[in-house]
Amino acid sequence: MSDLHTEILGPDQGGIARAAGILCRGGLVAFPTETVYGLGADARDDRAVAGIFAAKNRPSFNPLIVHVPDLAAAERIAVFSDTARDLAQAFWPGALTLVLPLRADAGIAPLVSAGLDSIAIRVPAHPLARDLLRACGCPLAAPSANPSGRVSPTRANHVMAGLSGRIDAVLDGGAADVGVESTIIGLAGAPRLLRPGGVPVEAIEACLGQPLNVDAPVTDTPNAPGQLESHYAPGAGVRLNVTQPDAGELWLGFGPDCAGATRNLSPAGDLTEAAANLFGMLRDLDDLATAGQGIAVAPVPDHGLGRAINDRLRRAAAPRPG
């Protein structure tokens, strides 16, 4: 990823407007929430979201939390049950993330949900975050603004120490109040604690009038950040590192040497473009595949975002249970 000049923006109308403009053009801006600083990108723009993974050097595409300014905006993206709405009204804005069914017409980039049909969403309490969300007019996908595996940042200088030269700007809102990530609750079936965080479990259980299920998920396909990486496995079989597909196979190419590929993640060999296209093209090929027809995937370089792409492809190609 080429070096950028990372701007430090003040917490005023000028800084907010500048940050919103960068985000609307597909850039990356770190911004404060009450938990930690998040690294934001337009959640509708797959290429912008791919830039988050590139900047963080994140080795796999696990789901990201979408930040919105209010419950009305959240309901345009996710399907809310009565229980979900009760929790949102009790704890939003605040450090609670809900994992809910994704609306088919939400317009969220597939890379945000890692190809799943659910979405992790919250309304942050930090006034600067909410001002930014209103100013840019789009939902923001935002994991913590630090290199993958490093300590989450609670100040702008923490962000700069890890990501200066890799993102467009940091909106400096001072120190985060909570300092730990949001609590994540899954609402597919009985309410389940997916990650402890800034809202105490006891407060959530008091609101629900019942205990949370805190058992390990019964599936190895987690649906939220903070768990093992999820995978998207198409129905069609997947074969990797294929330079010459077999007769009848659908071929997912990468780079300029894949003439005749059914789809090409990036004809130019651009890993950010390939990451942005990955889930959409896998779904597209899965829809095209007839009974018994497989998907062959061209080699993808195993560096930078290529590591994350290959991680996901290996999961897609893994033997299926049963």
Counting Cα atoms < 13 Å in the Cβ hemisphere of 123 gives 19
Spatial distance between the Cα atoms of 295 and 282, rounded to a whole number of angstroms: 9
User: Are 36 and 175 contained in the same domain?
Assistant: yes
DSSP character for 144?
B
Please report the pLDDT score of residue 233 as a whole number: 66
User: Are 139 and 275 contained in the same domain?
Assistant: no
| 185 burial level (CB within 10 Å; 0-12, 13-18, 19+) | buried
Residue at which a domain ends, from 208, 225, 258: 208
Residue at which a domain ends, from 208, 230, 254: 208
Residue 1 forms part of a structural domain? no
Please report the pLDDT score of residue 231 as a whole number: 43
User: Are 172 and 259 contained in the same domain?
Assistant: no
Evaluate whether 87 touches 173 at the Cβ level (below 8 Å).
no
Evaluate whether 191 touches 212 at the Cβ level (below 8 Å).
yes
Residue 310 forms part of a structural domain? yes
Sheet-wide strand order for 250-253: 238-239, 295-297, 250-253, 263-264
User: Are 195 and 270 contained in the same domain?
Assistant: no
Residue 218 forms part of a structural domain? no
Side chain identity, residue 41 = A
In Å, how far are 57, 177, 217, 228 from 180, measured between CA atoms? 21, 9, 22, 19
User: Are 243 and 195 contained in the same domain?
Assistant: no
CATH number for the domain harbouring residue 132: 3.90.870.10
Residue 164 forms part of a structural domain? yes
User: Are 150 and 299 contained in the same domain?
Assistant: no
Residue 222 forms part of a structural domain? no
Spatial distance between the Cα atoms of 61 and 153, rounded to a whole number of angstroms: 20
What are the residues facing 9 on neighbouring strands? 171
User: Are 153 and 273 contained in the same domain?
Assistant: no
Residue 247 forms part of a structural domain? yes
Long-range contacts: 277-281, Cβ < 8 Å, 24+? 277/46, 278/61, 278/111, 278/309, 278/312, 279/61, 279/110, 279/111, 279/114, 279/115, 279/232, 280/46, 280/110, 281/252
Residues 6+ apart with CB under 8 A from 61: 53, 111, 114, 229, 275, 278, 279, 308, 311, 312
User: Are 65 and 173 contained in the same domain?
Assistant: yes
Residue 2 forms part of a structural domain? no
User: Are 170 and 55 contained in the same domain?
Assistant: yes
Spatial distance between the Cα atoms of 184 and 195, rounded to a whole number of angstroms: 5
Domain that holds residue 252: 238-317
Residue at which a domain ends, from 188, 208, 228: 208
User: Are 254 and 176 contained in the same domain?
Assistant: no
- How many structural domains comprise the chain? 2
What are the residues facing 138 on neighbouring strands? none
Question: Of 315, 269, 319, 258, which is closest to residue 249 (Cα–Cα)?
Answer: 258
Mean pLDDT, each 10-residue run in order, the chain (322 residues): 85 98 98 95 97 91 94 98 97 97 96 92 97 98 90 90 97 87 90 90 94 64 46 78 96 97 97 87 90 96 87 82 56
CATH number for the domain harbouring residue 245: 3.40.50.11030
Please report the pLDDT score of residue 230 as a whole number: 36
User: Are 185 and 297 contained in the same domain?
Assistant: no
Q: Is the peptide bond before 93 cis (omega within 30 degrees of 0)?
A: yes
User: Are 37 and 126 contained in the same domain?
Assistant: yes
Count Cβ atoms below 10 Å from residue 267 Cβ, excluding itself: 16
Spatial distance between the Cα atoms of 319 and 271, rounded to a whole number of angstroms: 26
